[in-house]
């Protein structure tokens, strides 16, 4: 079971709304920091352990600044994400660049920042060499193929576009070494939103075993094993979060056996989690705009799929609290909708919720990762503001809402006047 409490009461939230109109995303600094500390503490047995926050999950520099203070690095996979790292003053091995189908200008930027480059394909050794030059340290992304059963979101590894095959891994390190690369890392990521800690233990075991084989065959030292992201969160109240301490203990057993046992220590363990770090600590706050009774009962919010598309995209469950009615005994079944001209614009379908009225405040939970970040502008919808609830209760706007002017910013209406038809 997971408690679906809010980090603010009704009065506090009403005060926030009086300053910042709904809809908006709000992040809980205390929650993010507490989780970051737990994560670091769980792995404190591993010298040099580091979590690289997958910035795509919530690409806001204010949040990243907090996580940087908690000793997290940043995991980037695009030009804008590298630029974000740059603007945050992040450099060198604070940055993991895990991309795929990568263009040359991104490799150039990654090299300029001294980021750890994690190659997704064997052909990219030569591509990187020609475009940006090979760095001293190189990492390769392993795709274990049918060695590992897939999980729901990412699918079967053999079908996934990511990573190198087992044979290619050996070849890649051999080529890289022959081209003068001196330091090596290894990476894999085969799960997304996985709640079973054993899954990560097994992933670590697969990677540790491969390290032993590669080191044995090529005589190279692999410095770090990046276990990727994919740590799930309990979106549903009946689910349980991943027990980090247990997971770490079990990974340590594998480490002692395979890494230390084969004289391969030290090996730094890295993660590049996004969802688990900020997901549960972000909330989409909106208001009931209209109630509608037809063949079904609908509660229409002032937020829509543009603000959080996971329910529409994956049929994902997001817990919903009608603020001030948490213990309401009278409930009704609702489809909770937005205003997009798409019938899948629903935050919940047939959800039993307290009886609602227009103006009620509705909070959608676990929106802190892949929430605002996945926003889009279809139907002329605008992305909302992002707020941060500081540890002392202060609320800071960390991104303003888009305006219609932003929406039109890439169009030239002056040019339109000259445009003869």
Ligand X SMILES: *Cc1c(COP(=O)(O)O)cnc(C)c1O
- Catalytically active residues are 341
Query: Does 228 help bind ligand X (rule: CB under 6 A)?
Result: yes
User: Segment 48-67, which members bind ligand X (CB under 6 A)?
Assistant: 54, 56-57
Dihedral (C-alpha) 10, 13, 17, 23: value to the nearest 10 degrees?
-100
Q: In the stretch 331-370, what mask flags binding to ligand X with x, by CB under 6 A? A: --------------------------------------x-
What is the number of residues in the chain?
A: 421
Beta strands, E only, 105-182: 116-119, 137-142
Only segment of 25-33, 224-232, 388-396, 399-407 that touches ligand X (CB under 6 A):
224-232
Query: Does 371 help bind ligand X (rule: CB under 6 A)?
Result: no
Binding residues for ligand X, how many (CB under 6 A)?
17
Query: How far is CA 17 from each of CA 4, 28, 349, 359, rounded to the nearest angstrom?
Result: 21, 16, 26, 12
Least gap, CB of 125 to ligand X (angstroms): 19
> Which residue of 28, 94, 121, 272 would you call a contact of ligand X, by CB under 6 A?
272
Which residue, 165 or 339, is less far from ligand X as judged by CB? Answer: 165
Query: Does 234 help bind ligand X (rule: CB under 6 A)?
Result: no
Name the DSSP class of 256: I
- Give the residue from 84, 3, 77, 73 showing the smallest Cα distance to 40: 73
* CB neighbours of residue 213 within 10 Å: 14
Q: In the stretch 248-267, what mask flags binding to ligand X with x, by CB under 6 A? A: --------------------
Query: Does 151 help bind ligand X (rule: CB under 6 A)?
Result: no
Name the DSSP class of 379: G
Least gap, CB of 316 to ligand X (angstroms): 13
Which residue, 222 or 231, is less far from ligand X as judged by CB? Answer: 231
How far apart are alpha carbons 240 and 196 in whole angstroms? 9
Only segment of 225-233, 239-247, 342-350, 385-393 that touches ligand X (CB under 6 A):
225-233
How far apart are alpha carbons 386 and 109 in whole angstroms? 28
Name the DSSP class of 340: S
State the DSSP H helix or E strand holding residue 49, giving kind and residue range, or none if neither. none
Chain contacts with ligand X (rule: CB under 6 A): 54, 56-57, 75, 98, 189, 192-193, 228-231, 272-275, 369
């Amino acid at each position: 079971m997971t408690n679906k409490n809010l980090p603010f009461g009704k009065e506090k939230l009403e005060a926030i709304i009086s300053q910042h109109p709904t809809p908006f995303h709000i992040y809980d600094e205390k929650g993010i920091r507490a989780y970051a500390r737990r994560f670091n503490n769980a792995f404190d047995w591993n010298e040099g352990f580091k979590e690289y926050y997958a910035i795509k999950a919530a690409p806001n520099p204010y949040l990243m600044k907090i996580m940087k203070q908690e000793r997290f690095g940043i995991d980037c996979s695009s030009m804008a994400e590298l630029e974000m790292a740059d603007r945050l003053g992040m450099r060198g091995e604070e940055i993991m660049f895990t991309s795929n189908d990568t263009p040359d200008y991104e490799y150039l930027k990654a090299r300029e920042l001294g980021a750890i480059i994690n190659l997704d394909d064997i052909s990219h050794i030569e591509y990187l060499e020609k475009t940006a030059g090979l760095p001293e340290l190189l990492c390769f992304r392993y795709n274990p193929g049918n060695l590992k059963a897939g999980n729901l979101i990412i699918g079967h590894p053999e079908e996934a576009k990511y990573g190198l095959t087992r044979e290619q891994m050996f070849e890649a390190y051999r080529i890289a070494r022959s081209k003068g690369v001196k330091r090596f890392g290894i990476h894999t990521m085969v799960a997304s939103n996985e709640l079973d800690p054993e899954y990560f233990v097994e992933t670590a075991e697969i990677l540790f075993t491969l390290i032993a084989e590669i080191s044995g065959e090529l005589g190279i030292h692999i410095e770090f094993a990046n276990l990727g992201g994919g740590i799930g969160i309990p979106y549903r109240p009946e689910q349980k979060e991943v027990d980090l301490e247990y997971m770490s203990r079990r990974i340590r057993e594998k480490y002692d056996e395979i890494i230390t046992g084969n004289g391969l220590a030290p090996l730094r363990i890295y993660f590049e989690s996004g969802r688990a770090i900020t997901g549960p600590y972000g909330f989409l706050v909106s208001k009931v705009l209209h109630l509608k009774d037809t063949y079904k009962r609908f509660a229409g919010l002032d937020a829509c799929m543009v603000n959080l598309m996971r329910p529409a995209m994956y049929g994902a469950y997001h817990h919903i609290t009608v603020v001030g009615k948490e213990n309401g005994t009278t409930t009704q079944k609702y489809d909770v909708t937005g205003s997009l001209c798409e019938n899948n614009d629903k935050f919940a379908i047939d959800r039993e919720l307290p009886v609602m009225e227009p103006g009620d405040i509705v909070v959608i939970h676990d929106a802190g990762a892949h929430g605002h970040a996945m926003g889009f502008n279809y139907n002329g919808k605008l992305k909302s503001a992002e707020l941060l609830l500081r540890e002392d209760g202060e609320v800071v706007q960390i991104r303003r809402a888009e305006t219609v002017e932003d929406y039109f910013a890439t169009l030239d209406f002056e040019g339109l006047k000259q445009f003869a038809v």
